[in-house]
Amino acid sequence: MDRIVLTDALVGSPFGVLLLDKAVKAARLAGAEVAGVTLPRGMAPAARCRFVGEAARHGLGCVEGAVPACGDAFTVFVGGRAVDLRVPGGLHDWHAHTQFAYCGRGIDLMDAAALSLALGVETQGFSEHAFALYFPSDALKFRWQGDPGFVEGVWASEGRGRMAAYRAWVEGLRALLGPRVRFGLEVDLFGGGRFCLAPEDREGWDYLIGAIHEVEGLAPGATQAEVVRAWMRDVERLLQQPIQVLAHPFRYFPWAGRPVPRELYRPVARMLAQTGVAAEINHHKNPFELEFFRVCLEEGAGISLGTDAHVTRDIADLRPHLRTLAELGLSPGDCLSP
């Protein structure tokens, strides 16, 4: 059982509480059994409360005690060993959300960008859901997907939902945040395979990610074979669109409570290679299909990394991706880069 020991520099950092979250995740991913958190003595009560609260979120208690002298805010001590919470160089995260996402649970783009850059992520991409920018939150259940008239109505409306506002905001942020922060969109299909991006919104993004969150036109009670056929049809359609990345390939199936059609690993990997679209390594709430990425490499498809962060604290959580890259015999430099 190891304790996580926080230094004065870490608890005094503007990222302090978020760094405690990173430390717990890193320790547990490395196999440590974390017994609790040691805070420096004499913290101000308000700051102590925030750290105690964050530790409790992970099921951990805090005590005050002696902590090592260390001036680096990004170093913690786990079981007496120093752990650097920064990520290694050369990592690009192309998939994170913003406060504009309906599925976001407390992410703030500026906080997320600051944390990501501080932790050494080379490029932080934000790829908000295009549908969330166009449609009200009650359209989240993908009813818009089968209602082209509704979609076109929104596209013809003033401001196209929140899209025009988002675009204006992003343009203002570019100069402030610099080239390490990129802006794209995560885009679905609708209306029989059309790309859910209004003509006015086709340009002006650094990149586009294609995603299948829902399969169109499935009757209730569709068989696995029907679902698989319709999903593959949608993958083929999506890969005809101007996307650089296929988000969370195969996630649709576990989320729909269905078995993953592993016989499609190779056909999908081949299509990715042929269309020049990268397969995304994404560990956000999906059982990971490592073997699919092996097949992608055999077929010559590219690889992209995405945290799919929906909360600020999940930004720069790229350690699971690093483990996956090692399992695939890859280094960060083998992944999609700017």
**How many binding residues for Zn ion (CB under 5 A)?**
4
Task: Find the part of the chain contacting Zn ion (CB under 5 A) among 1-9, 71-79, 155-163, 203-211.
Answer: 203-211
Instruction: Give 160 or 310: the residue with its C-beta nearer to Zn ion.
Output: 310
Instruction: Give 21 or 186: the residue with its C-beta nearer to Zn ion.
Output: 186
Q: Whole-angstrom Cα distance, residue 111 to residue 107?
A: 8
Question: Cβ(332)–Cβ(310) under 8 Å?
Answer: no
Residues 56-85 that bind Zn ion (CB under 5 A): none
Instruction: Answer yes or no whether residue 196 interacts with Zn ion by CB under 5 A.
Output: no
| End-to-end Cα distance, the chain | 42
Nearest CA among 59, 109, 79 for reference residue 2: 79
- In whole angstroms, the minimum distance from the beta carbon of 291 to Zn ion comes to 21
Nearest CA among 77, 64, 67, 69 for reference residue 23: 77
Residue 294, CA atoms < 13 Å, CB-side half-sphere = 8
Task: Find the part of the chain contacting Zn ion (CB under 5 A) among 77-85, 104-112, 181-189, 220-228.
Answer: 181-189
Write out 143-207 in H/E/C secondary structure.
HHHHCHHHHHHHHHCCCCCCHHHHHHHHHHHHHHHCCCEEEEEEECEECCCEECCCHHHCCCCCE
- In whole angstroms, the minimum distance from the beta carbon of 186 to Zn ion comes to 5
Instruction: Give 19 or 132: the residue with its C-beta nearer to Zn ion.
Output: 132
Instruction: Give 186 or 201: the residue with its C-beta nearer to Zn ion.
Output: 186
- In whole angstroms, the minimum distance from the beta carbon of 213 to Zn ion comes to 6
Task: Find the part of the chain contacting Zn ion (CB under 5 A) among 18-26, 142-150, 178-186, 225-233.
Answer: 178-186
Instruction: Answer yes or no whether residue 308 interacts with Zn ion by CB under 5 A.
Output: yes
Question: Cβ(243)–Cβ(206) under 8 Å?
Answer: no
Residues 242-261 that bind Zn ion (CB under 5 A): 247
Q: 253-265: b or e for each residue (b if 16 or more CB lie within 10 Å)?
A: beeeeeebbeebb
| Strand 278-282 versus strand 245-246 pairing type | parallel
Instruction: Give 11 or 209: the residue with its C-beta nearer to Zn ion.
Output: 209
Question: Cβ(127)–Cβ(185) under 8 Å?
Answer: yes
- In whole angstroms, the minimum distance from the beta carbon of 77 to Zn ion comes to 34
Among 27, 73, 139, 211, binds Zn ion (CB under 5 A): 211
- In whole angstroms, the minimum distance from the beta carbon of 101 to Zn ion comes to 8
**What radius of gyration, in Å, describes the C-alpha atoms of the chain?**
21
Instruction: Give 118 or 211: the residue with its C-beta nearer to Zn ion.
Output: 211
The footprint of Zn ion (CB under 5 A) covers: 186, 211, 247, 308
